[in-house]
């Protein structure tokens, strides 16, 4: 490392990127090791966990077993779930949730102290633990954030946008981040990605604005193995209002008795699937999506659920009121929206990726537990289980000291680039992905989306400063660099999703292609290789250009 640096260098034993449930769980479990938690949000907590209305699925009921939960997980995943990983998830998850209950975290309980258990789609038993009714995510991550603030070994860096990994001879040596005050090299031998999903790369999503696929893009640029990127789950019942993100009407409503109705007030899901409103999410989403695409509105009648659980859905009631809707008076308009990504950075059971020194957990990771279609309320469980497993592995696995390396050069964006221009590129990218790789896809639509995303990626790359010696006055400030970086990540993630969706010429789980409407039996045993790396994009649309600009030294 040279003595003269163009930015700050900060050292840590471990870097955690992301402030949702997975990231905070990992950081807390790593105490008392020196951890730097980096989040691009203004404070704790952040990410999609905060908005999770559903609960945590765990076999903690008297007549339930982790094996039954695992079987439901495998069934929902449409033939692509790793059964061993599902068994690990449900076994570790039941034990972990029991510990959280014993620790006094604010879960909803019966008068005798037992947890109140709900049922959601494709579960064979009532096994969903809630907190604050339909505010499970917010209640849980708020409690963990309080604990994290009180943990002296964890340094939290807010408003910090993680840009790229720093690699030396294939080994992770740290992370380059853009802070409000400028560039920072976070130097560490261990990096944990816990950045959440990719929902905000789509034009209609339930995810918060920060869900731009940053961790997936960072890992891709570094050459990590990725898998199952084509499997994007659309939540069936997002409130059909003009909002970004769109409000979510939790699946627990249907578990408590809410029913779906067409324009004439007729219930249609019993004709679609034996489980009716509690069918797997992809089935319900497409049943609604077909009607909406044909110009037929669909409604969710919440009144049976509200009568069954008068105090069970405060978040839903507040969201409806915010948009001038009264669920006690009439059914609520709903439509599907991008919600959860089953694919991600390939990891093993301990969260290790294909790169030495890099771990991943939560939605950014692909552990094999979701297959082609995530089982309801397994997402918070996955974040808890694998956040803890990653922390344990990081703590127990010693790494040699970092080798000396030259300073990486941060990407520079031209000073005349405006927020308006970047907003326009981002909006066009989101629309292209939603239209071409949305709920139902076909080859022609995917090819059109690929051409548009390739064109936008090339245009974005042209906004960089020319040459390594560009004068500082010619470079954009940190807020523009961050917005440019998010646009770069959106476009790369979109191109990867489209590439994977074109390659899978079948319909399975959340991946539905109208030109290949049936599942291909050879893909149904879970053994088919579904991995890719950034280099797989080469040759499909010309050079990778700025997409490959990871800090490799």
Tokens of 4: 């003269």
Question: pLDDT value at position 523?
Answer: 64
Buried b (16+ CB within 10 A) or exposed e, 500-535: bbbebebbbbbbbbeebeebeeebeebeeebebbbe
E-strand ranges in 471-533 read 531-532
Distance CA 212, CA 486 (A): 6
User: For this structure, is 281 an active site residue?
Assistant: yes
Phi, psi angle pair for 377, to nearest 5°: 65, 15
Question: pLDDT value at position 471?
Answer: 59
**Look-up of token digits 């003595």:** 3
* Contact partners, residue 351, CB within 8 Å, separation at least 6: 192, 359, 360, 361, 365, 367, 386, 389, 390, 393
The active-site residue out of 187, 190, 204, 281 is 281
Question: pLDDT value at position 1?
Answer: 37
Across the strands, what pairs with 165?
A: 175
Domains and CATH numbers, the chain: 9-230+340-396 (3.50.50.60), 240-336 (3.90.700.10), 419-552 (1.20.58.100)
Distance CA 352, CA 369 (A): 15
Question: pLDDT value at position 521?
Answer: 80
Question: pLDDT value at position 407?
Answer: 79
Question: pLDDT value at position 466?
Answer: 65
Q: What does pLDDT average to in each consecutive run of 10 residues of the chain (553 residues)?
A: 64 96 97 96 91 91 97 94 97 96 88 91 92 89 93 97 94 95 95 98 96 98 97 96 95 94 97 93 94 96 96 94 98 97 98 97 97 93 97 90 82 95 98 97 98 97 75 82 97 98 95 95 60 84 56 59
Question: pLDDT value at position 408?
Answer: 85
Residue 265, helix vs strand vs coil: coil
Question: pLDDT value at position 3?
Answer: 38
Residue 451, helix vs strand vs coil: helix
Question: pLDDT value at position 362?
Answer: 98
**Is the N-terminal amide bond of 532 cis, ω within 30° of 0?**
no
H-state helical runs in 124-173? 136-149
Tokens of 246: 């769109």
């Amino acid at each position: 490392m040279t003595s003269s640096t163009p930015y700050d260098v900060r050292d840590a034993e471990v870097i955690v990127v992301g402030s949702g449930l997975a990231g905070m769980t990992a950081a807390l479990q790593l105490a008392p090791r020196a951890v730097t938690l980096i989040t691009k949000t203004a404070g704790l907590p952040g990410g999609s966990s905060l908005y999770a209305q559903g609960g945590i699925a765990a076999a903690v009921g008297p007549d339930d077993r982790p094996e039954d939960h695992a079987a439901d997980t495998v069934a929902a995943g449409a033939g692509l779930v790793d059964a061993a990983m599902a068994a690990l998830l449900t076994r570790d998850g039941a034990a972990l949730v029991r510990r959280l209950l014993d620790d006094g975290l604010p879960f909803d309980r019966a008068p005798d102290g037992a947890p109140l258990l709900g049922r959601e789609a494709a579960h064979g038993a009532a096994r969903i633990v809630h907190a604050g009714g339909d505010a499970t995510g917010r209640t849980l991550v708020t409690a963990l954030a309080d604990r994290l603030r009180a943990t002296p070994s964890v340094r939290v860096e807010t408003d910090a946008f993680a840009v790229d990994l720093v690699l030396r001879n294939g080994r992770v040596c740290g992370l380059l981040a853009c802070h409000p005050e400028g560039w920072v090299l976070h130097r560490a031998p261990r990096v944990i990605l816990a950045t959440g999903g990719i929902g905000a790369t789509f034009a209609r999503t339930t995810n918060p604005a920060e869900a731009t696929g940053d961790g997936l893009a960072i890992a891709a640029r570094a050459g990590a193995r990725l898998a199952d990127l084509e499997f994007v789950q659309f939540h069936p019942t997002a409130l059909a209002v003009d909002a970004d993100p769109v409000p979510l009407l939790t699946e627990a409503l249907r578990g408590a008795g809410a029913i779906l109705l067409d324009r004439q007030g007729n219930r249609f899901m019993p004709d679609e699937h034996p489980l009716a409103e509690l069918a797997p999410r992809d089935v319900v989403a497409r049943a609604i999506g077909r009607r909406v695409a044909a110009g037929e509105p669909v409604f969710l009648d919440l009144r049976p659920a509200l009568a069954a659980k008068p105090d069970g859905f405060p978040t839903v009631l507040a969201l409806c009121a915010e948009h001038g809707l009264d669920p006690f008076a009439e059914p609520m308009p709903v439509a599907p929206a991008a919600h959860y990504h089953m694919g991600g950075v390939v990891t093993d059971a301990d969260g290790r990726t294909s790169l030495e020194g890099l771990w991943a957990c939560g939605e950014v990771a692909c552990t094999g537990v979701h297959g082609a279609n995530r089982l309801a309320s397994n997402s918070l469980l996955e974040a808890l289980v694998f956040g803890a497993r990653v922390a344990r592995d990081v703590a127990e696995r010693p790494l040699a000291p970092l080798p000396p390396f030259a300073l990486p050069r941060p990407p520079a964006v031209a000073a005349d680039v405006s927020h308006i221009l970047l907003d326009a590129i981002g909006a066009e990218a989101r629309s292209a992905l939603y239209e071409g790789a949305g709920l139902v896809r076909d080859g022609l639509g995917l090819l059109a989306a690929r051409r548009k995303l390739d064109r936008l990626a090339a245009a974005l790359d042209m906004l960089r400063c020319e040459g390594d010696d560009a004068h500082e006055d010619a470079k954009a400030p940190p807020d523009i660099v961050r917005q440019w970086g998010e646009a770069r990540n959106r476009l790369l993630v979109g191109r990867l999703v489209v590439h994977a969706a074109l390659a899978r010429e079948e319909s399975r789980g959340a991946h539905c292609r109208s030109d290949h409407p049936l599942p291909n039996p050879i893909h149904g045993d879970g053994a088919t290789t579904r991995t890719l790396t950034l280099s797989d994009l080469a040759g499909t649309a010309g050079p990778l250009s700025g997409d490959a600009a990871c800090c490799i030294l």
